[in-house]
Amino acid sequence: MFNKMPLSIESQVQLLKARGLQVFPNEEEEIRIWLNNVHYYKLSGYWLAYELKNQSGSGRLHKFKNGTTWKKVKHTYIFDQKFRRLMWTAIEKIEVSVKAHWCQYLSMNYGPFPQDNKNLFSTYIYKNHGSYSKLITSYAKSNALYAKHYRINYPELKTPPIWIAALIISFGEMVNWIKYINSAKIRNEILRPYGFDERIMISFLTHLIEVRNICAHNERLWNRQTNKEFIIPKRYTRIFIFNKSHKANRRIYNTIIMISEILKSIDPKYPFLSLMKDLIKANYLINPYYMGFPPNWESLSPWNTLSPK
């Protein structure tokens, strides 16, 4: 039976202090402002890493480890904000690039409307409320000037040319439009520029949808275990992290590494890994272990090949 009552901001502060969070006198007003503007339960995801583990069960003890300060919790939250922005920029580069390759290859080989070719795609695309229906709806509702232009000048079209469709569809739908192409050869041709087999790329793009959504909704990412695993390319296994059962670790470290490999073919001069290293090093209160980083990560490939600042 639910019997929890809401707490005032002052009561929230006192509860945290009673559970062992160190709040110094000059931080009292600051923590109240944060609890007012960020929210207790949003912040709770960031202090979870600093709570004592319950050795007798799976429930939380709601007790902080000795020495856990408000400053550490606050800077963990700020670090995650910066980390998500860096990840978002990288993911955006991949999303835009994949859409461009999808559009260019299919338009050059199948004309302006390959999405209407039911021999090209699986029936999954055309089922009720499937990707094709979503494209029709998105096109009809879009306020973008390019969509309005085509609706006004070509009212007979249910869907726009693929070069407009690529601008309208979401990243998740984009992955479906590639994943459900009937021919593996065509999927490989579209994804070949990234240097990986289509199975690996589609696996990773599906994983990236989850990470992108976490970033888009301002959710905690830095120490998260993702739900969607992706296939680790065999020739690159030495730079990824695996768990005791030899499965790829689902911490965000492996995502960072795979993004960096793909960016080499999209924007090779973008210093993604250097920016990531600088961000981690600048936030000395953050332990990258919780992100899946190995203890000696700076001496390992690809980090040890980065040019010094």
The amino acid at residue 51 is E
The residues spanned by each domain of the chain are 9-55+67-75, 79-305
Question: Can you give the pLDDT at residue 164?
Answer: 97
* pLDDT exceeds 70 at position 213: yes
Asked whether the CA dihedral 141, 144, 148, 151 is positive or negative, the reply is negative
Closest CA to 276 of 91, 78, 86: 86
In sequence order, the 6+-apart residues with CB closer than 8 A to the CB of 137 are none
Distance CA(248)–CA(270), nearest Å, equals 26
Distance CA(252)–CA(258), nearest Å, equals 10
The amino acid at residue 133 is S
Dump pLDDT digits (tens) for 141-171. Answer: 999 999 999 999 999 999 999 999 999 999 9
* pLDDT exceeds 80 at position 57: no
Bond into 302 cis (ω within 30):
yes
pLDDT higher at 54 or 188: 188
Radius of gyration over alpha carbons of the chain, in Å?
A: 23
Predicted confidence band of residue 33 (pLDDT cuts 50, 70, 90):
very high
Mean pLDDT of the chain: 94
Dump pLDDT digits (tens) for 130-147. Answer: 999 999 999 999 999 999
Per the structure block, which two tokens stand in for 91?
Answer: 């993911």
In sequence order, the 6+-apart residues with CB closer than 8 A to the CB of 47 are 21, 64, 68, 73, 76
* pLDDT exceeds 90 at position 92: yes
* pLDDT exceeds 80 at position 269: yes
